[in-house]
Amino acid sequence: MDFEPSPIQRKRCNGIAEAVAERFTAHETRTDPKSLRVAWKDAAGIGLAGLCLPEEHGGGGLGALDTALSLEAFGRSCPDMGLVFGIAAHLLSCAVPIQEFGTDEAGRLLAGMASGDLIAGNAMTEDEAGSDVGRLRTTAVRSGEGYRLDGEKSFVSNAPVADVFVTYAVTDPSAGFLGISAFAVPRDLDGVVVGPPLPKMGLHGCLAARVRFDGCVVPAQYLLGAEGRGGAIFQHSMAWERGCLFAAYLGLMDRQLAECVARTTGRRQFGRRLAGFQAVAHRIARMRQRLESARLLLYRACWLLDQGRSDVTAIAMAKVAVSEAAVANSLDAMQLFGSSGYLAGTGIEEQLRDCLPTTVFSGTTEIQLELIARETGL
């Protein structure tokens, strides 16, 4: 086992961190479509919108571990975690399945996705189908040379600014999980209706909305894989998302830990540095332990992906470890900063709000624990 990043990996990550710090210096959350587009183009100019896409489409051609290391550097240097999350979701839950399973026609979307000209949203979740993806009610029925989509998705990240949606619909109601198919749906098709941005408690730099397909006829060339392969395609994309996207939160925790160290070594109470109190020092020590433990699990999960061994248990354990560490560390950071951490401006309260949904999106903690239990033989 070699735990040391290679010189190439170190150089790439340092370059990303420096470029992100230069382009996203202000602590600014962009929520209007125009400024979001500018931010996406800036990030894409660094290569972040196409890290693991093929080089012929303008991507970086990276594997899972290198993609995770790059997203970790992105999360460490960019104060707008919503933007980081939106770009990572666009890449991992949308671009990856289009690359792996799309036709030549669908594959032509990849160059625009890598350049930041096209933004993608993953449309899976429905009101009655969150963790239980087998209860999808959106249908796709053969109609001439395409499929007629009808149904509504309840929570689609990037939807208000998205140009394409990777969505899942039932093509064979009698086949259950094996009756789900996947599609890449251009936004400009008739029958695609995007709702207003949903109010959220965090990740404000990633707009989300409901998306309705109202008799939307999708040309057959935008079917991903074969009919009935949607469930497997979704699982494949989630392996990449749960493995790589959460590396961005390692970066956030790294930055957060440094901020807490600076705060407690620079502030004095009762004639002593805060860091001199054992209760404070031990809290920071636990923050570091959670971060380093989660990092090792995530790196291993991504390494397994690169070996062609998509280990469900390894990915689930990494996802649980990172998300629970992110929430726990953010709560500790709030305590260490005291009342100033509760105020807008320090970024501490924003970090907590941005970390809380990690135990819900990409599969809840409870679902991950079920996967781990099942793979353990229970």
Between strands 120-123 and 164-170, the pairing is parallel
Q: Comparing C-alpha atoms, which of 20, 126, 130, 141 is closest to residue 83?
A: 20
Amino acid occupying residue 195: G
Rounded-to-integer distance, Cα 241 and Cα 272, Å: 44
CB 184 within 8 A of CB 221: no
Tokens 């394409």 belong to 164
Annotated catalytic, 241?
yes
Rounded-to-integer distance, Cα 35 and Cα 150, Å: 32
The residues, ordered by sequence, that sit 6+ positions from 254 with a Cβ below 8 Å of its Cβ are 72, 76, 291
Rounded-to-integer distance, Cα 252 and Cα 272, Å: 28
Question: Could you say which of 72, 126, 227, 241 is catalytic?
Answer: 241
Tokens 């959350």 belong to 29
Buried b (16+ CB within 10 A) or exposed e, 42-78: bbbebbbbbbbbeeebbbbebbbbbbbbbbbbbbbbb
Q: Which two tokens stand for residue 143?
A: 């109609």
Could you write out the DSSP letters of every residue in 327-368?
HHHHHHHHHHHTHHHHSTTSSHHHHHHHHGGGGTTTS-HHHH
Could you write out the DSSP letters of every residue in 130-169?
SS-GGG---EEEEETTEEEEEEEEEEEETGGG-SEEEEEE
- Cα 356 to Cα 87, 102, 327, 335: the distances in Å are 19, 34, 6, 16
- Cα 303 to Cα 14, 65, 68: the distances in Å are 20, 6, 10
Q: Which two tokens stand for residue 174?
A: 């009698």
- Residue positions annotated with a catalytic role: 241
